[in-house]
């Protein structure tokens, strides 16, 4: 092996460094050892087998469960000149034969195949005739019947070790639990494997939990602040996905729905359209899952409460695979919990039923919490965070506590007088003395505490009662229309034996927190550039009929917008840009960047290097430095000296722009000046030289001669 993993990473993926663990994993794989990799979605698993594949002799066989995704994965690799292809049942025998031949001839480094294809007799036979460098088993948890994505075909993969004892295996999954892990190791029969477990913290995902009232209104408000961003909204029922999608469409958003009840052709269409950024929002049941290998999902909203923390975490994990800021928003309501409990109640196996209730309770504790939500989540997955995350609604909206004993007593007393038969809304109506039909019909307006809590608004009471439930003063009787029941601790509060510390309800908006820093001018400018590059990317993607992220992902566009490369050399410095991508898309993007930078500059913004660009454009029209200066004076507020323009031209030349400096001088002048330059020290400046020639040569000519001199010496 003559090359290093780092060189491969740079050459084929355009990244400067490995993320934690990637390098260790690659070293293991290259040493020929079996490995198991547990890494969250977006953690960067693919690189762990793609880099070795490019370094080892032979073909790496990648087992991937979704045929629909293979095309996309291979497209992306091919765009970076990585010799890869897929092999599946959608291809003709002739196509397959060509691929087989290419593998034999060493023209393929990565071959993607579905598990069912892999284990079919013919394929195994074929593999025996080529050199297989590595087996990479993606989504390895599919092998476990314990997991949520069990695929029976995966269990046959055990034959790999039997038939190819000397070929190393790398198994990868984003499912962290122990049972699944052991199942993978056992079934694949991995030999003395090294196990790598990455942190499952997804720092870029902002966690937010909010009460379920007015969710549609809240969602629309949120979406309005994020035009064109992609997201998924998970609903509990098929019906609600359809209704919600219709409402969002009605409000002018590009939305569609997805659930297991729609036919496979349409399902594929919906996915494709989402992947290609044609549909912005998908309202879906959890059936919309593994197939979404879309890096720029900016938000995942749970319209309804998920039934357990595992599901919740997996679903929000689909946001921000590209590592950029993303939102996870959970709406919760006790009504949802009631429905979920009813579903669980129908389970027959009593142990399983108990387990599901317990899991739902953990989910509820998470939603109710008033400590850092990420700490709770990671704790759940046996990983602990030593500090608050600063990126969840609890961390971002610190609240003040006050003695709320009297408020609590009013609520508890009212609940007791109502025989503990009413739920939150009715209790609030009684406290606030609202005479609606339900209250009057039931005679609730006759109880002694009626109207005792007028000092707080309905919304505030909701928030207080929520806290009282979390603090354990009340319990919710899910089996009796969500009635509130006063607990032992609640009785103590009533008797003044226990103080109720409540926090003031704050307006927690997930669109923007109060603590949000205002953007700098520079950020605003690069965001505008990002938007215009995104449009350009979409245009090119449509022309070539590919998904936009195959051109560049959002992380790359973001870096590009910050760095603003105007030259090919600088373009290559952008993270995620390879030589191959530079050749395919460099010119279009550089042109786009220059255009926006010049526009922003002309609107008065300070944009790195843009003044030079304006000079360059006028220079291309054949104008002299003096003419350029006077031309620019017509439109720009700050007048520029021709000397500055000369400086621009020289610096542009040095950056590699095609500027004919000789146009401003003569070979004779350059020769004369360079002669003298050799004799004078550079500290003296140009004045002595200028005087030496009695003003025969201009300062510009002297500068040019000096620039060209540097070149000869270099
Ligand atoms: P996973 O399969 O674990 O969900 P991917 O392999 O799809 O994750 O990687 C997620 C994203 O991170 C991709 O956009 C990938 O290009 C990017 N990525 C992976 N490794 C690196 C790295 N070393 N530097 C920068 N970006 C990386
Ligand atoms: Zn937090």
**Tens-place pLDDT, residues 548-570:** 999 999 999 999 999 999 999 99
Give yes or no for residue 39 CB within 6 A of ligand 1: yes
Is residue 176 within 8 A of residue 197, CB to CB? The reply is yes
Give yes or no for residue 193 CB within 6 A of ligand 1: no
Dihedral of the alpha carbons of 220, 221, 227, 232, in degrees to the nearest 10? -50
Ligand nearest, relative to CA of residue 376? 2
Give yes or no for residue 18 CB within 6 A of ligand 1: yes
Residue 591, both tokens:
């042109």
Q: Report the C-alpha gap between 592 and 553 in whole angstroms.
A: 16
- Same domain for 228 and 331, yes or no, is yes
Q: Report the C-alpha gap between 706 and 701 in whole angstroms.
A: 9
- Same domain for 167 and 215, yes or no, is no
Residue 402, both tokens:
């006050």
- pLDDT of 79 > 50? The answer is yes
Residue nearest to atom 27 of ligand 1 (CA): 44
- Same domain for 13 and 43, yes or no, is yes
Q: What is the pLDDT of residue 194?
A: 95
- pLDDT of 713 > 70? The answer is no
Strands 401-403, 501-503: pairing is antiparallel
Map residue 407 onto helix, strand or coil.
helix
Q: Report the C-alpha gap between 14 and 235 in whole angstroms.
A: 38
Least Cα distance to 700 among 656, 653, 644, 657 occurs for 644
Is residue 565 within 8 A of residue 585, CB to CB? The reply is no
CATH classification of the domain holding 284 = 3.40.50.300
Ligand nearest, relative to CA of residue 576? 1
How many structural domains comprise the chain? Answer: 5
Give yes or no for residue 72 CB within 6 A of ligand 1: no
Question: Number of H helices and number of E strands within the chain?
Answer: 34, 17
Residue 125, both tokens:
């036979």
Q: What is the pLDDT of residue 255?
A: 97
Give yes or no for residue 5 CB within 6 A of ligand 1: no
- The confidence band for 365, taking pLDDT boundaries of 50, 70 and 90, is confident
Residue with tokens 């207080």: 464
Give yes or no for residue 462 CB within 6 A of ligand 1: no
CB proximity list for 317: less than 8 A, separation 6 or greater: 40, 41, 42, 174, 202, 205
- The confidence band for 504, taking pLDDT boundaries of 50, 70 and 90, is confident
- The confidence band for 453, taking pLDDT boundaries of 50, 70 and 90, is very high
| 517 vs 293: which has the higher pLDDT | 293
CATH classification of the domain holding 488 = 1.10.10.10
Residue 627 resides in a domain: no
Sign of CA dihedral 560, 565, 567, 572: negative
Q: What is the pLDDT of residue 508?
A: 61
Average pLDDT over residues 259-266: 92
Strands 194-197, 35-38: pairing is parallel
Last residue of a domain, one of 338, 353, 384: 338
- pLDDT of 517 > 70? The answer is no
Q: Report the C-alpha gap between 663 and 684 in whole angstroms.
A: 27
Ligand nearest, relative to CA of residue 550? 1
Q: Report the C-alpha gap between 246 and 238 in whole angstroms.
A: 13
Average pLDDT over residues 268-284: 93
Give yes or no for residue 46 CB within 6 A of ligand 1: yes
Residue nearest to atom 9 of ligand 1 (CA): 44
Ligand nearest, relative to CA of residue 395? 2
Cα of 395 from ligand 2 centre, angstroms: 4
- Tell me the average pLDDT of the chain: 90
Least Cα distance to 619 among 595, 640, 639, 646 occurs for 646
- Same domain for 450 and 331, yes or no, is no
CATH classification of the domain holding 572 = 1.10.150.80
- Which of 223-227, 241-245, 404-408 is predicted with the least confidence, judged by mean pLDDT? 223-227
- Same domain for 222 and 301, yes or no, is yes
Q: Report the C-alpha gap between 357 and 352 in whole angstroms.
A: 9
Least Cα distance to 356 among 309, 308, 287 occurs for 308
Last residue of a domain, one of 314, 338, 362: 338
- Residue to mutate (ligand 1; options 10, 44, 139; most atoms within 8 A of CB): 44
Share of the chain above pLDDT 90, in %: 62
Cα of 293 from ligand 1 centre, angstroms: 11
Cα of 576 from ligand 1 centre, angstroms: 10
Residue with tokens 């070539």: 544
- Same domain for 259 and 327, yes or no, is yes
- Same domain for 54 and 138, yes or no, is yes
Closest ligand 1 atom, CA of 40? 3
- Same domain for 490 and 573, yes or no, is no
Map residue 282 onto helix, strand or coil.
strand
Question: What are 223-234's pLDDT values in tens digits?
Answer: 999 888 999 999
Residue 652 resides in a domain: no
- Same domain for 176 and 242, yes or no, is no
Distance of CA 600 to the CA centre of its chain: 28
Q: What is the pLDDT of residue 514?
A: 44
- pLDDT of 458 > 70? The answer is yes
Give yes or no for residue 295 CB within 6 A of ligand 1: yes
Closest ligand 1 atom, CA of 18? 23
- Same domain for 446 and 305, yes or no, is no
Ligand nearest, relative to CA of residue 51? 1
Ligand nearest, relative to CA of residue 378? 2
Closest ligand 1 atom, CA of 295? 14
Cα of 375 from ligand 2 centre, angstroms: 7
Give yes or no for residue 498 CB within 6 A of ligand 1: no
Range of the domain at 175: 5-197
**Residues making up the chain, counted from first to last:** 714
Residue 651 resides in a domain: no
- pLDDT of 102 > 70? The answer is yes
Residue 567 resides in a domain: yes
| 708 vs 518: which has the higher pLDDT | 708
Cα of 290 from ligand 2 centre, angstroms: 27
Question: What are 342-357's pLDDT values in tens digits?
Answer: 999 999 998 888 888 9
- The confidence band for 478, taking pLDDT boundaries of 50, 70 and 90, is confident
Average pLDDT over residues 143-160: 85
Environment class of 62 (CB within 10 Å of its CB; exposed 0-12, middle 13-18, buried 19+):
buried
- The confidence band for 302, taking pLDDT boundaries of 50, 70 and 90, is very high
Q: Report the C-alpha gap between 680 and 60 in whole angstroms.
A: 63
Average pLDDT over residues 619-644: 88
Residue 393 resides in a domain: no
Q: What is the pLDDT of residue 106?
A: 93
Give yes or no for residue 42 CB within 6 A of ligand 1: yes
Closest ligand 1 atom, CA of 555? 14
Last residue of a domain, one of 197, 226, 247: 197
Q: What is the pLDDT of residue 71?
A: 84
The full DSSP string for 424-441 is HHHHHHHHTT---HHHHH
Cα of 83 from ligand 1 centre, angstroms: 19
- pLDDT of 23 > 90? The answer is yes
- The confidence band for 1, taking pLDDT boundaries of 50, 70 and 90, is low
- Residue to mutate (ligand 1; options 26, 47, 141; most atoms within 8 A of CB): 47
Q: What is the pLDDT of residue 411?
A: 95
- pLDDT of 125 > 80? The answer is yes
Residue nearest to atom 5 of ligand 1 (CA): 44
Q: What is the pTM of this model?
A: 0.82
Is residue 414 within 8 A of residue 427, CB to CB? The reply is yes
Q: What is the pLDDT of residue 497?
A: 93
Give yes or no for residue 553 CB within 6 A of ligand 1: yes
| 147 vs 250: which has the higher pLDDT | 250
Q: What is the pLDDT of residue 513?
A: 46
Residue 655 resides in a domain: no
Cα of 315 from ligand 1 centre, angstroms: 18
Residue 110 resides in a domain: yes
Q: Report the C-alpha gap between 233 and 241 in whole angstroms.
A: 8
Closest ligand 1 atom, CA of 48? 6
Residues with C-beta atoms within 5 A of ion ligand 2: 372, 374, 388-389, 392, 395
Q: What is the pLDDT of residue 310?
A: 86
Residue nearest to atom 24 of ligand 1 (CA): 15
Question: What are 646-693's pLDDT values in tens digits?
Answer: 999 999 998 888 898 888 899 999 998 988 888 776 666 788 888 888
| 447 vs 60: which has the higher pLDDT | 60
Residue 511 resides in a domain: no
- Same domain for 429 and 549, yes or no, is no
Is residue 385 within 8 A of residue 199, CB to CB? The reply is no
Cα of 557 from ligand 2 centre, angstroms: 28
Share of the chain above pLDDT 70, in %: 96
Give yes or no for residue 321 CB within 6 A of ligand 1: yes
Residue nearest to atom 15 of ligand 1 (CA): 44
- Same domain for 37 and 141, yes or no, is yes
- pLDDT of 515 > 70? The answer is no
Map residue 553 onto helix, strand or coil.
coil
- Residue to mutate (ligand 1; options 46, 49, 79, 205; most atoms within 8 A of CB): 46
């Amino acid at each position: 092996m003559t090359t290093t993993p780092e060189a491969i990473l740079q050459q084929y993926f355009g990244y400067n460094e490995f993320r934690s663990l990637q390098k260790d994993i690659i070293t293991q794989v290259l040493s020929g050892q079996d490995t198991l990799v547990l890494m969250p979605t977006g953690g960067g698993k693919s690189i762990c087998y793609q880099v070795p594949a490019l370094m080892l002799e032979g073909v790496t066989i990648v087992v991937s469960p979704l045929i629909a995704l293979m095309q996309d994965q291979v497209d992306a690799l091919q765009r970076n000149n990585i010799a890869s292809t897929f092999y599946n049942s959608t291809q003709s025998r002739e196509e397959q034969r060509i691929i087989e031949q290419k593998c034999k001839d060493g023209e393929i480094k990565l071959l993607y195949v579905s598990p069912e294809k892999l284990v079919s007799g013919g394929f195994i036979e074929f593999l025996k005739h080529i050199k297989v460098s590595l087996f990479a088993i993606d989504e390895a948890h599919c092998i476990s019947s314990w997991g949520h994505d069990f695929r029976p075909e995966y269990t046959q993969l055990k034959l790999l070790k039997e038939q190819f004892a000397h070929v190393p295996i790398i198994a990868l999954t984003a499912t962290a639990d122990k049972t699944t892990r052991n199942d993978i190791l056992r079934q694949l029969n991995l030999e003395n494997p090294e196990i790598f477990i990455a942190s499952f913290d997804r720092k870029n995902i902002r966690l937010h939990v909010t009460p379920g009232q007015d969710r549609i209104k809240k969602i629309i408000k949120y979406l309005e602040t994020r035009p064109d961003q992609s997201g998924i909204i998970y609903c509990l029922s098929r019906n609600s996905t359809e209704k919600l999608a219709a409402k969002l469409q009605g409000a002018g958003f590009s939305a569609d729905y997805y659930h297991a009840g729609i036919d496979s052709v349409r399902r594929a269409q919906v996915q494709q359209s989402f992947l290609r950024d044609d549909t912005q929002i998908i309202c879906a049941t959890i059936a919309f899952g593994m197939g979404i290998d879309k890096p720029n999902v900016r938000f995942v909203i749970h319209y309804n409460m998920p039934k357990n923390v595992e599901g919740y975490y997996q679903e929000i994990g689909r946001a921000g695979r590209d590592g950029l800021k993303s939102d996870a928003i959970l709406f919760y309501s006790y009504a949802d919990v009631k429905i979920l409990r009813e579903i669980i109640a129908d389970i027959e196996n009593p142990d399983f039923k108990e387990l599901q209730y317990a899991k739902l309770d953990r989910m509820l504790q998470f939603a109710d919490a008033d400590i850092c939500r990420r700490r709770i989540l990671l704790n759940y997955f046996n990983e602990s965070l030593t500090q608050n995350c600063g990126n969840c609604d609890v961390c971002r909206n610190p609240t003040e506590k006050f003695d709320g004993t009297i408020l609590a007593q009013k609520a508890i007393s009212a609940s007791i007088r109502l025989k503990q038969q009413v739920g939150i809304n009715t209790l609030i109506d009684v406290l606030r003395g609202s005479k609606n039909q339900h209250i009057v019909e039931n005679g609730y307006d006759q109880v002694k505490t009626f109207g005792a809590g007028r000092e707080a608004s309905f919304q505030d009471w909701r928030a207080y009662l929520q806290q009282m439930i979390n603090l354990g003063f009340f319990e919710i009787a899910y089996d009796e229309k969500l009635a509130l029941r006063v607990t032992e601790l609640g009785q103590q509060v009533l008797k003044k034996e226990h103080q109720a510390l409540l926090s003031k309800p704050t307006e927690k908006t997930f669109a923007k927190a109060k603590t949000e820093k205002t953007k700098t001018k520079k950020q605003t400018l690069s965001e505008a550039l990002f938007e215009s590059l995104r449009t350009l990317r979409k245009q090119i993607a449509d022309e070539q009929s590919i998904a936009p992220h195959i051109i560049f992902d959002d992380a790359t566009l973001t870096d590009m917008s910050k760095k603003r490369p105007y030259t090919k050399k600088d373009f290559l410095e952008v993270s995620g840009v390879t030589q191959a991508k530079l050749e395919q898309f460099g010119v279009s993007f550089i042109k786009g960047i220059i255009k926006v930078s010049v526009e922003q500059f002309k609107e008065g913004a300070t944009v790195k290097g843009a003044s030079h660009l304006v000079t360059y454009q006028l220079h291309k029209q054949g104008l002299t430095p003096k003419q350029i200066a006077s031309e620019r004076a017509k439109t720009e507020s700050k007048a520029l000296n021709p000397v500055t323009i000369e400086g621009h031209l020289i610096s542009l030349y040095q950056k590699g722009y095609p500027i004919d400096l000789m146009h401003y001088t003569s070979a004779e002048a350059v020769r004369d000046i360079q002669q003298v330059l050799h004799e004078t020290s550079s500290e003296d400046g140009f004045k002595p030289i200028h005087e030496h020639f009695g003003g025969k040569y201009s300062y510009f000519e002297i500068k040019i001669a000096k620039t060209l001199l540097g070149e000869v010496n270099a």
